[in-house]
Structure 1
Amino acid sequence: MKKSALILSILSAGLLTLFSSCSKIAPEKRLVPLDAGMGGDKRTILLEDFTGEKCVNCPKAALAIHDIQKLFGHNVVAVGLHGTAAFTPKGSSLFTPEAAAYYERFANGVGLPTGIISRTKFPGRNALSINEFGTWSGLIKGLLDSKPRIFEIKTEATSDGIDAVTAKITLKKYGNSENLPKDLMLQVWVIEDGITGIPQEGAEDKYNYVHNHVLRGSLNGIWGEAVTLDKEVSYTRSLENINDVQKCHLVAFVYDSNTMEVYEATSVNIK
């Protein structure tokens, strides 16, 4: 199983250019397979990255995500959410109603880039969203160290080769976990890599910027559905905004319907 994420590689001499605008990245260096990481009894964290094509500072957050993926591997699933009209150029295909709903619920009015780590509110912070992307790695490590894995998500994803995706998912208890939380919700998303976006307005170097792990839609509604242990559920949906289903992945995660905290996430290839 491979999971892919955005890689932005730069030479030290090009730092200033990157921090002021998007930088050219060789296609073969934009993705990294997530076959490393901590594994074991560590849970998998969901990192929701609220971003936008017109966001000048979002490439910096992409660098932070690259470092996080390198450090934690498959213990972090990153998803790019394009849900703000102000940062979406005319004619863009990256905006989704789902991403807009999540931005309004979790980060309304907050500037981009901003991220949410397993929808967890950390001590000393008043909101779920965190603009300081340089702190994401440390917060993720603290979460992995303090909260053991309690669920396992068995997932299979297939497609018709065009735009219809089918997911079969079973939520199971992990190991000998006890006193499991109740009121669980299962969310199932499709994300896509290799989407050519619209060049950023005002950038000195206009080129076809490629976006990865972009949310394309949900298979089971904006907020998912209630789920119980050891019962397989199946969802099928056609997502007309998919460019290439072979570049898509299925993301599934379980969260608390009351606190919204994400307990476990996973990402699998769509066959």
Structure 2
Amino acid sequence: MNIDPNQVSNYVTKYADVLVDYSLKLVSAFIILFVGIYAIRLINRIITKVMIQRNLDPTLTKFLSDILIWALRILLFVTFISKLGIETSSFVAILGAMGLAVGLSLQGSLSNFAGGMLIIVFKPFKVGDTIEAQGVIATVAEIQIFVTKMLTANNQTVFVPNGALSNGTIINYSMQGERRADLTFAVSYDSDIKKAKEVLLNVLNSNPKVLKKPEPEVFVKNLTASSIEFSVRPWAKNENYGIVFSQTLENCKTALDEAGIAIQPYTLQK
């Protein structure tokens, strides 16, 4: 078998040119990759610093930072393989099809994701607030992307899906900073209304945890078939609400007994 030296030389030259050309693409692709990784970290630090300076919610800051990082990483990866000479149109189509399939199979999770976004952006509550939602009264411990973690008064951990939470009614007991306790005391018709009212009001005014502004209120709420109902309304700071509620019940009962005012066999609380 005769080998043509000229043909061999042509093949060597041709493949050498291909190798040199691809080597340049390979080097430039990895330069783009490493520079891109550094640039992503730098951009993330800058954006995070700006959001912190703007006093954005920490949960929102981390969430937006994570989205930014992954978006830039995907863009960098597509640029990297494109620089290597790999066709990206089919790759992008495959990613799109995969995204559609995942989206259809995770509709509930996407709903919770969207709910988490709404909660983070519009802030109907924040970490540390006591809220009532989805049949649960608890303190918000953490706002996650898909669920909100809450702690009940008896230290039970409750996870509420953000989708249901954002679409339902939320009562935020902490947003205003102050809260009013609404109590009802029923006394006998033999009682002196003015004296009973004075006794109940003195109880509220003598409690240092009851706020002076707004002023506490005591008034006749209703005249039933068997009793006179007084509405007793003390105001308290959120952190003192439970104590004020309990102390008002106890102190009003004691004060009425000492004043000789007969309480009906029940106390209606609302």
TM-score of Structure 1 vs Structure 2, range by shorter chain: under 0.3
**More helix per residue:** 2
TM-score by length of 2: 0.22
**More strand per residue:** 1
Higher RCO (C-alpha 8 Å, min separation 6): 1
Larger Rg: 2
